[in-house]
Amino acid sequence: MRFAFTTEQLELRDAVRDLLRRECAPEAVRAAWTNDTGRAPKAWAALAEMGALAVMAPEATGGFGLTEVDAILIAEAAGYAALPEPIVDTMLIAAPWGLVQHAQSAVVVVPESPCTAWADSADVVLTLAADGVRTVPASDCSLVAHTSVDGARRLFDVSIPAGCEPQRPVADAAVAFRRGVLGTAAQLVGLAERMLTMTVDYAKEREQFGVKIGTFQAVKHHLANARTKLEFARPLVYRAAATMAAGDRSAGLHASMAKAQAGDAARIAARAALQCHGAIGYTTEYDLHLFMKRTWALDASWGDPAWHRRFVGAQIL
């Protein structure tokens, strides 16, 4: 038993974090709310350039042939930055199957979510269904636009052309689903950490009644609770990644446990963050809302916590 990342894995994570600190600062996320695509093209191109999107792509096609364990650290860093890109769909699902190259992107349509983000600007659309996985050029799909609480997430109800047969078997649909669940859980962990960090920084600076608000026990306890939730979510995400990489038959169960736990942790972090910020956090001029809204969106995507607990319950109860 050795439940830790390798130095190389952590170095890759740090490199991605550094890149996103530069290329996906809150201004870039804010810009995605109003630009044409809802995305952050500079950050995406830089990630492709450094090879981060190809960590799980086969070595034969220029990828690194690494596993979910490496990919979730990148997904977590993407969550920390609220990167407005379909990174989970692309990096964890399409790239390992060689369906995207370089800076191409993919989105995955899952039955558990009524809409798919960024389907209009992706290169490839995958659909997961009871009879397998279909891969369709995005230009062949018909899209009906919806609006997300997260202004960067351009949502679409996606219909693929009639008569399109699955290219990959049912088992692959299960693989894709649990990878998407896992990657989303990792993003939620990153988001929770970011909101906590922002709020701790704020509570150390903001003064009321002549003292820093971070000295108040009520504020401390909100943040201690949120930090504790995060402490007991992260290991389930890492464990699910490791069992998935090892081909463990229970990996789907582990992914659901991780998603339920990470979703709860991120939602509670968002709530504590807003409450401790007070009114400034309630404005859209302040950055917190970018992270809160991404949290709400991802918490509800790829199966919300209640969905995943039902899935777990069906196996353990």
Partner 1 sequence: MDLDFSSAEQAFRTEVRDWLATNVPNPPLPSGDTRDGFAAHLEWERRLFDARYAVVSWPTELGGRDASLWEWLIFEEEYWLAGAPQRVTQNGIFLLAPTIFEFGTPDQQTRILPKMASGEEAWCQGWSEPNAGSDLAGIRSRARRDDAGGGWRLTGQKTWTTRGAFCTHLFGLFRTDPDAPRHNGMTYLLVDLRQPGITVRPVERLDGDDGFAEVFFDDAFVPDDMVLGEVNKGWQVAMATTGSERGLTLRSPGRFLATAQRLIDLHRDRVTSSASDGPVDDELRDRIVQAWIDAEAYRWQTFWTVTKLLDGGQAGAESSMVKVFWSELDVRLHELALELLGPHAELVDGDFAQWIKGYQFALSGPIYAGTNEIQRNVIAERVLGLPRR
Chain residues that interact with partner 1, rule: CB under 8 A: 1-5, 69, 196, 200, 203-204, 211-212, 214-215, 217, 219-221, 223-225, 227-228, 231-236, 238-239, 241-243, 245-246, 257, 260-261, 264, 306, 309-310, 312-313, 316-317
Two structure tokens written together for 209: 């009644």
Give the integer Cα–Cα distance in Å for 40 and 27.
10
Least distance between partner 1 and beta carbon 13 (Å): 14
Cα dist from 167 to 97, 109, 125, 151, 192, whole Å: 12, 15, 13, 33, 37
**Shorter beta-carbon distance to partner 1: residue 61 or 215:** 215
Quick one: 148 or 243, whose CB is closer to partner 1?
Answer: 243
**Strands 106-109, 124-129: pairing kind:** parallel
- Of 112 and 123, CB closest to partner 1: 112
End-to-end CA distance of the chain: 28
Name the minimum Å distance from CB 267 to partner 1: 13
Torsion of CA 80, 187, 100, 54, to 10 degrees: 70
> Is 259:201 a contact under the CB 8 Å cutoff?
no
Report the nearest approach of partner 1 to the CB of residue 231 (Å). Answer: 5
Task: Tell me the closest approach of the beta carbon of residue 237 to partner 1, in angstroms.
Answer: 9
Q: How far is the CB of 187 from partner 1 (least distance, A)?
A: 18
Q: In angstroms, what is the minimal distance from the CB of 3 to partner 1?
A: 4
Closest CB to partner 1 among residues 103, 200:
200
- Residue 210 CB-density burial (10 A; 0-12 exposed, 13-18 middle, 19+ buried): exposed
Nearer to partner 1, 254 or 293 (CB): 254
Please tell me the distance from the alpha carbon of residue 225 to that of residue 88, in angstroms, as a whole number: 28
Q: Which is nearer to partner 1, 126 or 196 (CB)?
A: 196
CB of 250 within 8 A of CB of 240? no
